[in-house]
């Protein structure tokens, strides 16, 4: 089976808080390979494509605003079962209940805002990964 790839984003809160290095350290320690990495400042159209599945949800507009609030780091990551593995490293969506030991559990804060500023994104399936890698890396 070919090595799997996923899209990881260190979101604006992670970059602004200086946590990119700490997050990359966990990714590298786990043994995943950085195939490509870049600082990105996505426009609204890119984010509308990326978050198409969430259009119409209450957090959709705050999410787009948040994602345009500063630069993110986009990472093309490779490894055996990396899609599942990175989501395991990231922890569940809500930082308050994300397990300690995960990125969101250890570093994520609940700011009481309309959207979870939870530091990272990871593709949730092979189909999402292919779609999202095309959006962010072409």
Chain residues that interact with ligand RTP, rule: CB under 6 A = 54, 59, 63, 93, 115-116, 118, 121-122, 124
Is 93 one of the annotated binding-site residues?
yes
Q: How far is the CB of 10 from ligand RTP (least distance, A)?
A: 11
Q: How far is the CB of 137 from ligand RTP (least distance, A)?
A: 17
Give residue 86's Cα distance to chain centre.
9
**95 CB contacts (<8 Å, ≥6 apart)?**
104, 105, 107, 108, 109, 110, 116, 118, 119
Q: Which of 26, 50, 76, 121 is catalytic?
A: 121
Is 118 one of the annotated binding-site residues?
yes
Is residue 54 part of the annotated active site? The answer reads: no
User: Which CB atom, from 36 or from 59, has the smaller least distance to ligand RTP?
Assistant: 59
Q: How far is the CB of 122 from ligand RTP (least distance, A)?
A: 5
| Region label for 75, one of left (φ > 0), alpha (ψ between -120 and 50) or beta (otherwise) | beta
- The enclosing H or E element of 10 equals strand 4-10
Is 81 one of the annotated binding-site residues?
no
- Find the helix packing angle between 82-90 and 20-29, rounded to 10°: 130
Which residue ranges make up the annotated binding site? Answer: 11, 59, 87, 93, 104, 118
């Amino acid at each position: 089976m070919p090595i799997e790839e996923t899209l990881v984003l260190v979101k604006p809160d992670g970059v602004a808080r200086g946590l990119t290095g700490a997050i990359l350290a966990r990714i590298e320690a786990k043994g995943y390979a950085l195939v490509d990495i870049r600082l990105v400042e996505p426009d609204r159209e890119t984010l509308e494509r990326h978050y198409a599945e969430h259009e119409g949800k209450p957090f959709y507009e705050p999410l787009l605003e948040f994602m345009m609030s500063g630069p993110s780091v986009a990472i093309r990551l490779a490894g055996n079962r990396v899609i599942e593995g990175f989501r395991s490293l990231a922890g569940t969506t809500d930082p308050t209940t994300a397990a300690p030991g995960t990125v969101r559990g250890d570093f994520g804060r609940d700011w009481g805002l309309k959207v979870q500023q939870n530091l990272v994104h990871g593709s949730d399936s092979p189909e999402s990964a292919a779609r999202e890698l095309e959006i962010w890396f072409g």
